[in-house]
Structure 1
């Protein structure tokens, strides 16, 4: 089967999930059917956040589109560093990376407003332009200037989107296997397991999905794994994934920031082609393939990824 047909089926499946999960709601990309389901997820979030094992505070700020939840950590005099998590992962996903990152950086980990987490959308699903406004309002609230940013998977796409905005205050950028950023998903047949998990959630499908995206799923904390599973089980999505298309040559060329792009050698989202395009069109880029790592490279090879990020940022 051709790649174009696979992408077409991939899109149809996303649309099916969207229609099936949107019948009873007027807005909000992700919703919980009952208060009990939402509370179970929030309880799992709180337990997973404790895996950070460093002092942190949780803050909520009002934005045009709803309430943004931010986890703040690290020295107040450290260089500001924004963390944007992957799809369904929430800010708790940074637990294998947060200690070295927070040593010399003031961390602002933001829950994406259209996913499971503690941010709450109170408007219709956001366009790309509105996503950029949402994050800018947070940056303005904290008076962030010349800050660094790390984005994983969908968070990498968002970080790239923010870097293309004129007049942004971003300094250095780290992209961890950014989804749909340099090219469309590399292996749509394999990633379909994640879509089937949304349609028919089960522990078995969840385990298969982890095996698809991670070379070492055994490294994933059972506490975090529980939260990630509940995000897929309870929170129904009419995902904005379809709106995420690779950036044009000119958009990538407009990014003058130093950029580090990391992908795993077993990544099902990216390939060497992604790195080739990054090297060609990002004017100040550095790329690296992480051995024995999948899409969840920040967990699969956390020490290697942490060292690469710290060396680049500092």
Structure 2
């Protein structure tokens, strides 16, 4: 890594750490500062979840590190499919894709527990090893065997981490613009708006962030947009992203699962280099660049993405 990149990452870390440490929780919650903020966010979550527009159930299960919130949908006799969302996005983010995903699969959409959502952390921030333990407790609870995973952004990094550990029975994996998985983010200038939104949340900065990460922000539902904004406005700064580093050559080579990697052609998180590294080190991999799509490719080009996922999984 160049000295410039090291410096930028150090500044990013210090800024987030400073912001996080300046906030003192007024009640016992890892993510939110007040009960009012939390309730406002949960109300927005419930409204956004209705965008799924298919039958679903919500369940909470107790784990070693807190409560895991899982949304279940799709035919009971369908192949099990776990959905891992992107940072601050929650399981509601799948609203443009869920009808296609749930057509032939039994869906288990899991809210990550160290950020806004309905999973709640009761322990200290988790290490990578503890994240693996947490997800495997969920898989064990639902007796998931030979299941598929579709994962976006930070969720893609987690899915890759799980595949490397080999403590579960994952079958096929779909990585949608996985963050920090094959390479470091090198377009720091373009992602500055996201950092500034975290430090100083405002509607104006939020609008700029959406334009940075999406080629078609006008496609984003206002209902979901509201939830996503509140996640950035109310939640304590999410520094767990800083602990995510690209996987080594040997780690990637150890993954024997069939893997599909999709990125947008205007993605600020990934580039051709990401696909080249995936093709070089993943044993059974297919890659595709989605035209006219950014980091939010599941929204920017939902039909193309849905069809690509369905072809790969089915």
Q: TM-score range by the shorter chain?
A: over 0.9
Name the CA distance, whole Å, in 1 between partners of 2:152 and 2:29: 20
Partner residue in 2 for 1:21: 20
Partner residue in 2 for 1:278: 278
Contact 1:252 1:281 in 2 (8 A): yes
Mapping for residues 198-277 of structure 1, pairs under 5 Å: 198-277=198-277
Change (3 A) 1:308 1:123: same
Q: TM-score, normalised by structure 1?
A: 0.96
Partner residue in 2 for 1:83: 83
Q: Which moved more, 1:174-183 or 1:161-170?
A: 161-170
Change (3 A) 1:217 1:126: same
Partner residue in 1 for 2:42: 42
Unaligned ranges ≥5, structure 2: none
Equivalenced residue count is 313
Partner residue in 2 for 1:191: 191
Change (3 A) 1:131 1:98: same
Name the CA distance, whole Å, in 1 between partners of 2:17 and 2:64: 24
Name the CA distance, whole Å, in 2 between partners of 1:291 and 1:100: 20
Change (3 A) 1:284 1:167: same
Q: Which 4+ residue blocks in structure 1 deviate beyond 3 angstroms?
A: 25-30
Change (3 A) 1:280 1:184: same
Secondary structure, aligned partner of 1:88: coil
Counterpart check, 1:92 vs 2:92: yes
- What do residues 138-183 of structure 1 show as CA deviations (whole Å, max 9, x unaligned)? 0000000000001100000000000001342000000000000000
Name the CA distance, whole Å, in 2 between partners of 1:236 and 1:130: 21
Contact 2:26 2:34 in 1 (8 A): no
Contact 1:30 1:116 in 2 (8 A): no
What is the deviation of 1:3? Answer: 6.2
Secondary structure, aligned partner of 1:67: strand
Name the CA distance, whole Å, in 2 between partners of 1:96 and 1:190: 25
Q: Which moved more, 1:163-172 or 1:121-130?
A: 163-172
What is the deviation of 1:30? Answer: 5.0
Partner residue in 2 for 1:160: 160
Partner residue in 2 for 1:108: 108
Contact 1:147 1:169 in 2 (8 A): yes
Contact 1:175 1:262 in 2 (8 A): yes
Secondary structure, aligned partner of 2:118: coil
What is the deviation of 1:17? Answer: 1.8
Name the CA distance, whole Å, in 2 between partners of 1:25 and 1:19: 15
Name the CA distance, whole Å, in 2 between partners of 1:16 and 1:231: 19
What is the deviation of 1:112? Answer: 0.2
Partner residue in 1 for 2:51: 51
Mapping for residues 100-179 of structure 1, pairs under 5 Å: 100-179=100-179
Contact 1:29 1:114 in 2 (8 A): no
Unaligned ranges ≥5, structure 1: none
Contact 2:199 2:237 in 1 (8 A): no
What is the deviation of 1:6? Answer: 4.3
What is the deviation of 1:29? Answer: 9.3
Name the CA distance, whole Å, in 2 between partners of 1:194 and 1:10: 14
Change (3 A) 1:160 1:187: same
Secondary structure, aligned partner of 2:293: coil
Contact 1:213 1:296 in 2 (8 A): yes
Name the CA distance, whole Å, in 1 between partners of 2:44 and 2:3: 38
What is the deviation of 1:102? Answer: 0.2
